[in-house]
Amino acid sequence: MEIESYSFGRVVINGKVYEKDLIIFPRRIKENWWRKEGHELNPEDIKEVLKEKPKMLIVGTGAYGLLKVKEETKKILERNNIKLLELETKKACEFYNKLKDKNGVILALHLTC
């Protein structure tokens, strides 16, 4: 998957435009990713991620970094040996694009704030 561009509320991946939060798995995209609490990442928000058992979860925290990963979520990721990287969404997209091997990496993007 290649992220072609990101701007507030909009990301283009492999030529397709997305305007709602999403999760990029190695072989698919989960569109319209909703969280229990809009600007907090709770454990139940990443159930699908945990099932995939990635090496790394990159969280795009929004254009201004308003999405916060709760401590409980961080601990669950740690217990599952999943490295967490929290970056503002633009930086998260840039980091993801630079990865040579995206297998074992999941990118969860909050597209707005």
pLDDT in tens, the chain (113 residues): 899 999 999 999 999 999 999 999 999 999 999 999 989 999 999 999 999 999 999 999 999 999 999 999 999 999 999 999 999 999 999 999 999 999 999 999 999 99
Which domains, from first to last, does the chain contain?
A: 3-109 (3.40.1230.10)
Contact 29, 23 (CB under 8 A): yes
Here the tokens at position 58 are 């990159």
Residue with tokens 């967490």: 84
Residue 54: CB partners within 8 Å, gap ≥ 6?
A: 26, 82, 104, 105, 106
